[in-house]
Amino acid sequence: MTMLWEIEPLVKAMGARPFGALPEGVTGISIDTRTLQPGDAFFAIRGERFDGHDFATAAMAAGASLLVVSQEKLPALGRLSVPKLVVPDVLKALYDLAAAARQRTHAKIIAVTGSAGKTTTKEMLRHALSSVGSVHAADRSFNNHWGVPLTLARLPVDCDYAVFEIGMNHAGEIEPLAKLVRPHIALITLIAAAHLGHFKNLDEIARAKGEIFSGVVKGGHALINRDDQRSKILSKMAVEAGIKNIWTFGENARAQLRLVAREPQGEGSAVTIKVAGEELAGRIGAPGRHMALDALAAIGAGYLAGANPARLLGSLDQFDAGEGRGKRHRLRKEGGLFTLIDESYNANPASMKAALDLLSTMPAGEGRRIAVLGDMLELGVHSAALHAALADLITASGVDVLLIGGEEMKALAARPPAGIDVEYRASVEEMEQLLLDLVRPGDMVMVKSSKSTGFSRLVEALLRHFPAAGDGPVGA
């Protein structure tokens, strides 16, 4: 396997003390024994719920070539035969290695944040940039104080492009990560009421997201959503950070990167975009206005990184939304088919509106539009009002049947949209059998909720009980 880090620069970057006969290098970096591959260095990070040192034996059994451990834990781990690097603080050592990875790379670095769409945009960048070069990007949503340095430490030395997702729950969390990543392009997808429970208003969220500009390298670029009401706040922050190249994207006629037209087409959208004055036509493999705007942002960031925008757009014809982020399944029941849209990973007022807008544009045929909605979390004192406000969006989306569940959704249950069949259940378990019995051929079913509510189990139940369309013949 290709060596990610030779041992000498690895030790030097962390200022580590060797303990045992060290290997020539490591092929990967891991903090989780469940996904550790033979040859990886295992960093025994201490988290809020777990201490990685407690899994050192499991790491050795999984084939770790090296353990990075804290000085205070060495006496308890000295008996393990696997070689070790000893440091005062393991997370700090990971940050030091990440900084060294950034120092040695020649890749164009793109950092993405936003209240909604950042993971999808990151995945679109991974997909599109792979058509023009080698790409390294964050695994899943590794966007916090350990996920970002882990992603950076894993950056291969010979990569052409690297894409980092940076998230936050509180003010002050993005700035140190942005300064670690030091992007050439910093992209903010959208400002919305996610994590509003930790902020007074959307302006505060915008300022917290705008911290990403603090890390942009000299001569770098800021890319901002021109349709966003907080775009002026973000542009001002970019200027204050010393960024001279400030670009905007969106449907707004003044955006330099513009979505000119969009039409639903099969499982995606046909689009016309304008990039630096040139109109390009193509297709995005995932449906919906929000997906088209995420694609525009990704193409724009890739263009600013030096990639050909026509090539990037052409590649997105094959883009497929991921699990929990709009992935569609065609499932069989009683000789017919129904469609499942899996939006179970994330939910806030902006992403809920985008999902309901998408549902409204999808042809229901002879079936029904069924929305299965769970709690939007971390909205604080605004939660009841924001959940109740979904009623108007649901009515406008043409939903026929509404299933809602969770503590926060009680506010919507108390003021349900008129003219729609509404069922409330307190738990996922109570809702599961109701949904399995309710769905029928021709239906369009969308499951949307914040991840920790467990609504993904409803998706799993549908996939478990009903075979995919390709698993056998479908009767008339």
Look at residue 211 and give its three-state secondary structure.
Answer: helix
How far the first Cα of the chain sits from its last, in Å, is 51
Residue pLDDT tens, the chain, 476 long: 789 999 999 999 999 999 999 999 999 999 999 999 999 999 999 988 889 999 999 999 999 999 999 999 999 998 899 999 999 999 999 999 999 999 999 999 999 999 988 999 999 999 999 999 999 998 877 889 999 999 999 999 999 999 999 999 899 999 999 999 999 999 999 998 776 777 889 999 999 999 999 999 999 999 999 999 999 999 999 999 999 999 999 999 999 999 999 998 878 899 999 998 899 999 999 888 999 999 999 999 999 999 999 999 999 999 988 777 788 899 999 879 999 999 888 888 888 888 898 888 877 667 899 999 999 988 888 899 999 999 999 998 889 999 999 999 999 999 999 889 899 998 899 999 999 999 999 999 999 998 888 899 999 999 999 999 864 433 32
The C-alpha atoms of residue 81 and residue 432 are separated, in whole angstroms, by 48
Closest CA to 286 of 261, 251, 249, 322: 322
Q: Which residues contact 72 (CB under 8 A, 6 or more apart)?
A: none
Q: Tokens standing for 19?
A: 């303990």
Render 120-181 in DSSP notation, one character per residue: HHHHHHHHHHTTTS-EEE-STT--STTHHHHHHHT--TT-SEEEEE---SSTTSHHHHHHHH
The C-alpha atoms of residue 147 and residue 164 are separated, in whole angstroms, by 10
Look at residue 472 and give its three-state secondary structure.
Answer: coil
| Ranges of each domain in the chain | 5-89, 105-318, 327-471
Third-level CATH fold of 327-471: Protein-Tyrosine Phosphatase; Chain A (3.90.190)
Strand ranges (DSSP E) for 220-294?
221-225, 245-250, 257-265, 268-275, 278-284
Q: What pLDDT sits at residue 267?
A: 81
The partner residues of 279 in beta bridges, in order of sequence, read 274
The architecture in CATH of the region 105-318 reads 3-Layer(aba) Sandwich (3.40)
- The identity of residue 83, as a single letter, is P
Domain 5-89: homologous superfamily in CATH = MurE/MurF, N-terminal domain (3.40.1390.10)
